[in-house]
Each structure stands twice: as structure tokens, then as C-alpha cells.
């Protein structure tokens, strides 16, 4: 029997659940990746994610060819293309790894229905997380909405089921790959309608593995270094987790082994916790798909955000990094120039947009979705709703980051600010966080004045959130 493995956010040729199950169940396994026209059509020509995927696909195809297979690639709407390809190849079943975003669930449902109508099966597997859907529940069999008890239950489940980390072998089953078809050339970026863009991060499985090796040398310092954007304190693996160019099981197994022999210092358990946050938000989106559009806590939908031309102008200043708050502007320059933003700065800029400018978190969420190379609907809406206080286990609404204090604490020498706002390079380490309070020289004189006064904005925000006081 024949089968087709449909790759999506799992662009690797090792430890791959769907590929493993297809190879062990069928004699001839084809592999396909679809550049989804419904996703790609609205993107700008220089979208970094498309370049990342394109490079990673070339590597995946090469790896599959080494094992005797190959990757078929299409540029189409998968709801049409998967059933059509399945019919063309005469496969009995399509194997794929689960995706928990509401749009993906609807798409997969449509594909499965069409396949079924043709007498073919559709199999989905857990692959991008250690525990999915309802696998981690409260004692009352309810989904968690607070992180720490979720994390404790997650760790307990892993201790009870250590085989959750077992790799899904591919190479030993390579005899199941169908030989490459003659018409399998990969499309160029230009053929897909895109220009090459700088990903600012190594691509593919090899890139991910090298980055993880590099991070393991620094993991001991993670607990302290992770909060300082000028330092390479974090792993930068988010894009690889997003596109599956690294295996989450491999990451967790490595950290667990390290913890087992007392390695990894204070950093390893904190890093593991971050990987669990990722699963927490994936579970939240799966159980509460409305969080992509509306507040997790319905009472917070009553908040009235700023609107009209003034709000549009404030939003544009935020997007373009000209708020007059150096750390916020440096962070926005980072996302605009590189497609990445440090976690501390995601919190600072999100808080600033919502609680200093009074703008709806969804505007910021959409902007990040457009720019971030690691954009992930679950983590992005989770992070935004955390910062906006509208989410589950969110920052309380009365806790409002002071953008100057954050700058003094987390970029004490102004090193990050100088890197991304070179206009302020001449300011001293004490003055750079609030330039408007100090005498300025040269280019620094043209740096914009703050677009809002933080203290006034703070008061307005507390009043704005009055509508949710009862529910908070
Ligand atoms: P590390 O510190 O090395 O962490 C390791 C991995 O753990 C990350 O790669 C990521 O997969 C996961 N992780 C870490 N922190 C979080 C977190 N708070 N929530 C969920 N997962 C986490 N992360 C995304 O992957 N995509 C997004 O679109 C995204 N949007 C965000 C928006 C806001 C407003 C905020 C506050 C956070 C957002 N995050 C998002 C989470 C976090 O900022 C990034 O995952 C992290 O900065 C990526 O850098 P890293 O790989 O070096 O992380």
C-alpha cells in the first residue's frame, strides 16, 4: 500500500511522527510540502519566513533523497491539492502532524472530508508538542488556565510517561520511501513570487542543530542572561520550533538528561519552563480558539481602546520606532530590521502599545504577525493577551511597565539601544534611557520627544480598565 506524508510545520527528516508512522505502515511513502497560496498571497515579496522555509525545504529534500525518497513541492491551496495529489499517486492514506490553530483545524477537516469521499484515510499525529490537546488536565479533568499548576501537571505526566520523549525513527525504515519521481524539481523563490530576504538566523535542521549546540554551552547562564537584550542569552530557536526544523522531543530529552546528572545549572529548569509555556499557549488556543480574536476573559472585551486619526498616528509611531522612548524604539527597530525581537522587549513594547498608548492589543498582535519570523498564533496571542492583561494568567491590569525603568534595568549601559538607535550613540549610559531630560549633542538632538507622558498614560489606563475591576 502507498501513502503520502504532508509536511507543514515539521520540516525535518528525523524524529518525525507522521513520517515514522507512514513508513512503518506502508510500503511506498511519498512526501509533499505545499506552499499554501491562501497563506502566501497576502504576504510582502520580501517576507523572511518564505525565505526561511525555502532554504529549509531544500535541505529537507536533500536529506530525504539521501534516504532514497524525495520531496514533492506544490504551490496551491492544499484543500484542493492534497486530495488531487493523493488521487494522482494512488495512495491509500495521507499522514500528517497535528496543527492546533483554528484555521489549520478547519483546513485539515476539509482535506480529510475530501479524502474520505474518495475512499482515502487521513491520519494526524502529535508531533510539535510533548503533550497536546487534553493530555494535561486538572484533577477535575478541566483544562488549566493558570501556568504554574499546568507546568506541575505537565512535569508529573512526563515523569509517569517518559516514553513521551522517545524519538520517532526514520532512517531504519528508509526502505519504505517511494523512489523520487521524474518531475520533482523544487520551485525557486522567484517562481513562488518572492524575493530572497535575510533570515538573520541559520536555516534548516543543520542550522537548528548548530544553534542548539551553541546554546547548550550557555544554558547555565540562561536564568540571568535571558532578560538582557544586548546579550545572546537565549537560544533563538523559536523559528526552528515554529517550523519544526528541530524536534521538541530532542530538546526536552537533552535538558532532562542534563538535569538528571545535575548539569545545566540554574538555567536548564528555567529554559524547560519556557518550552512548557509554549505548550501551555498551544493548549489554550486549542481549547479556546476565540483567543485569536477576542479576550480570553470576556469581561475584558468591554474595554474601550483609543481609535480615530490620533490613535492611527500613535500606532504608526510605535510601528516605526519613533515613540521617543529609546528602549521601545530600539525594540521596534530590531523587529523591523531582523524579524526577531527579544522576549523582554516583546513584553515592553506590547505593554507600551496597550498601556501607554491605549491601543487595542489586536493591532499589535497583527503587526507582530506580519513581522516576526517565529510568528506563532498561540504564543503571539498568548504573549499579547498577557501584556494587555486580557489573557489567562496574565499580568494584572494595574501592573504597568515603566519604559524608562525597564530600560535602566535591562539595558543598563544602553548597549542595545545604541545598536538599534545609533542616533543616540553619543548619550551617556545614565542619560540614554530618557534623553529628553538631558542635554543632547549632534544627531541625538533630533531624536523625537516622548509621544505620551508615561505618568499620565498610566492614570488613563487605570481608568480605562475600570470596566473590568469587578471581574479582575
Ligand atoms: P528562549 O528563551 O530560548 O526560549 C526557548 C523557547 O521556548 C522559545 O524558542 C519558544 O519556543 C519558547 N518560549 C519562550 N518564551 C515563551 C513564551 N513566553 N511563550 C511561549 N513560548 C515561549 N514566541 C513565538 O515563538 N512566536 C511568537 O509569535 C511570539 N510572540 C510573542 C508576543 C509577545 C507580546 C510576547 C510577550 C511573547 C511572544 N513570544 C512568541 C514568546 C517569546 O518572546 C519568544 O518565544 C522568544 O523570545 C523566542 O526567543 P528564543 O527562541 O531565544 O527563546
Q: Which helix (H) or strand (E) holds 309?
A: helix 309-319
CATH 3.40.50.620 domain locations along the chain: 2-127
CATH 1.10.579.10 fits 298-468, yes or no: yes
d(Cα 75, Cα 154) in Å, to the nearest integer?
38
* pLDDT tens, residue by residue, 111-147: 999 999 999 999 999 999 999 999 999 999 999 999 9
Concatenated DSSP letters for 230-259? Answer: TS--S---HHHHHHTSS-HHHHHHHHHHHH
The answer to whether the beta carbons of residues 60 and 174 sit under 8 Å apart is no
Query: Best mutation site among 282, 354, 379, 393 for ligand 1, i.e. most ligand atoms within 8 A of its Cβ?
Result: 379
> Which of 97, 79, 80, 77 has its CA nearest to residue 31?
97
Whether 472 shows a pLDDT value over 90: the answer reads no
* pLDDT tens, residue by residue, 9-68: 999 999 999 999 999 999 899 999 999 999 999 999 999 999 999 999 999 999 999 999
> Which of 403, 406, 307 has its CA nearest to residue 355?
403
Share of residues in the chain with pLDDT > 70 (%)? 99
Instruction: Tell me the CA–centroid distance for residue 238 and ligand 1, in Å.
Output: 6
Whether 182 shows a pLDDT value over 90: the answer reads no
pLDDT reported for residue 185: 87
* CA within 13 Å, CB half, 443: 7
SS3 224: helix
CATH 1.10.579.10 domain locations along the chain: 298-468
Please tell me if the CB atom of residue 278 comes closer than 6 angstroms to any atom of ligand 1: yes
Can you read off the three cell numbers belonging to residue 366? 497583527
Residue located nearest, by CA, to atom 42 of ligand 1: 343
Please tell me if the CB atom of residue 391 comes closer than 6 angstroms to any atom of ligand 1: no
* pLDDT tens, residue by residue, 344-375: 999 999 999 999 999 999 999 999 999 999 99
Please tell me if the CB atom of residue 346 comes closer than 6 angstroms to any atom of ligand 1: yes
CATH 1.25.40.80 fits 128-166+204-287, yes or no: yes
Can you read off the three cell numbers belonging to residue 187? 520551485
Determine the distance from the C-alpha atom of residue 387 to the mean position of all C-alpha atoms in its chain, rounded to a whole number.
16
Q: What ligand 1 atom has the least distance to the C-alpha of 215?
A: 3
Residue located nearest, by CA, to atom 2 of ligand 1: 234
- Burial environment of residue 305 by CB neighbours within 10 A (0 to 12, 13 to 18, 19 or more): middle
Please tell me the total number of residues recorded for the chain in this structure. 472
- What's the sign of the alpha-carbon dihedral 214, 282, 363, 47? positive
Q: What are the catalytic residues?
A: 274, 277, 305, 343, 361, 384
This prediction's pTM: 0.98
- What's the sign of the alpha-carbon dihedral 50, 52, 57, 58? positive
Question: From its phi and psi, is residue 56 left (phi > 0), alpha (psi between -120 and 50) or beta?
Answer: alpha
Please tell me if the CB atom of residue 383 comes closer than 6 angstroms to any atom of ligand 1: yes
Residue located nearest, by CA, to atom 13 of ligand 1: 274
Q: What ligand 1 atom has the least distance to the C-alpha of 375?
A: 28
The answer to whether the beta carbons of residues 170 and 20 sit under 8 Å apart is yes
Helix ranges restricted to H, 320-402: 326-338, 343-351, 361-371, 377-388
Instruction: Tell me the CA–centroid distance for residue 442 and ligand 1, in Å.
Output: 37
> Which of 177, 188, 168, 185 has its CA nearest to residue 97?
168
pLDDT reported for residue 364: 98
- From first CA to last CA, the distance across the chain in angstroms is 57
The answer to whether the beta carbons of residues 222 and 267 sit under 8 Å apart is yes
- Options 3.50.50.60, 1.10.10.10, 3.60.10.10, 3.40.50.620; CATH for 2-127 is 3.40.50.620
Amino acid at each position: 500500500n502507498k501513502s503520502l506524508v504532508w509536511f507543514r510545520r515539521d520540516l525535518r527528516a528525523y524524529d518525525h511522527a507522521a513520517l515514522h508512522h507512514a513508513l512503518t505502515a506502508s510500503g511506498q511513502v511519498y512526501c509533499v510540502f505545499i506552499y499554501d497560496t491562501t497563506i502566501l498571497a497576502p504576504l510582502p515579496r520580501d517576507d523572511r519566513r518564505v525565505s526561511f522555509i525555502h532554504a529549509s525545504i531544500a535541505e529537507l529534500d536533500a536529506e530525504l533523497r539521501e534516504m532514497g525518497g524525495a520531496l514533492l513541492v506544490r504551490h496551491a491551496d492544499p484543500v484542493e491539492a492534497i486530495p488531487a495529489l493523493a488521487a494522482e499517486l494512488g495512495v491509500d492514506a495521507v499522514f500528517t502532524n497535528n496543527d492546533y490553530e483554528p484555521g489549520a483545524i478547519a483546513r485539515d477537516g476539509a482535506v480529510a472530508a475530501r479524502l474520505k469521499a474518495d475512499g482515502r484515510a487521513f491520519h494526524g499525529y502529535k508531533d510539535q508538542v510533548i503533550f497536546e490537546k487534553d493530555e494535561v488536565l486538572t484533577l477535575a479533568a478541566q483544562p488549566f488556565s493558570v501556568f504554574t499548576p499546568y507546568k506541575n501537571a505537565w512535569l508529573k505526566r512526563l515523569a509517569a510517561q517518559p516514553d513521551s520523549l522517545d524519538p520517532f525513527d526514520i532512517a531504519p525504515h528508509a526502505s519504505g520511501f517511494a523512489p523520487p519521481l521524474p518531475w520533482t524539481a523544487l520551485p525557486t523563490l522567484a517562481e513562488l513570487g518572492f524575493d530572497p530576504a535575510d533570515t538573520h538566523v541559520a536555516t534548516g535542521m543543520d542550522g537548528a542543530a548548530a544553534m542548539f549546540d551553541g546554546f547548550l554551552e550557555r544554558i547555565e547562564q540562561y536564568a540571568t542572561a535571558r532578560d538582557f537584550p544586548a546579550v545572546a542569552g537565549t537560544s533563538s530557536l523559536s523559528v526552528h520550533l515554529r517550523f519544526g526544523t528541530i524536534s521538541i522531543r530532542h530538546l526536552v530529552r537533552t535538558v532532562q538528561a542534563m538535569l538528571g546528572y545535575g548539569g545545566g545549572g540554574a538555567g536548564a529548569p528555567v529554559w524547560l519552563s519556557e518550552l512548557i509555556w509554549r505548550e501551555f499557549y498551544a493548549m489554550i488556543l486549542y481549547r479556546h480558539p476565540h483567543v485569536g480574536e477576542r479576550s480570553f476573559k470576556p469581561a475584558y472585551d468591554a474595554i474601550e481602546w483609543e481609535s480615530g486619526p490620533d490613535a492611527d498616528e500613535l500606532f504608526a509611531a510605535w510601528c516605526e520606532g519613533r515613540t521617543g522612548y529609546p528602549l521601545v524604539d530600539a525594540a521596534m527597530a530590531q523587529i523591523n530590521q531582523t524579524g526577531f525581537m527579544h522576549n523582554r522587549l516583546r513584553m515592553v513594547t506590547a505593554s507600551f502599545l496597550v498601556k501607554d498608548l491605549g491601543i487595542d492589543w489586536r493591532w499589535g498582535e497583527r503587526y507582530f504577525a506580519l513581522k516576526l519570523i517565529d510568528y506563532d498564533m498561540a504564543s503571539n496571542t498568548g504573549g499579547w493577551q498577557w501584556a494587555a492583561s486580557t489573557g489567562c494568567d496574565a499580568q494584572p491590569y494595574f501592573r504597568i511597565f515603566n519604559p524608562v525603568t525597564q530600560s535602566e534595568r535591562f539595558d543598563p549601559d544602553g548597549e542595545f539601544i545604541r545598536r538599534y538607535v545609533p542616533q543616540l550613540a553619543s548619550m551617556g549610559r545614565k542619560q540614554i534611557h530618557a534623553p529628553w531630560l538631558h542635554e543632547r549633542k549632534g544627531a541625538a538632538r533630533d531624536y523625537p520627544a516622548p509621544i505620551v507622558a508615561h505618568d499620565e498614560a498610566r492614570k488613563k489606563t487605570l481608568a480605562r480598565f475600570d470596566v473590568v475591576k469587578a471581574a479582575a
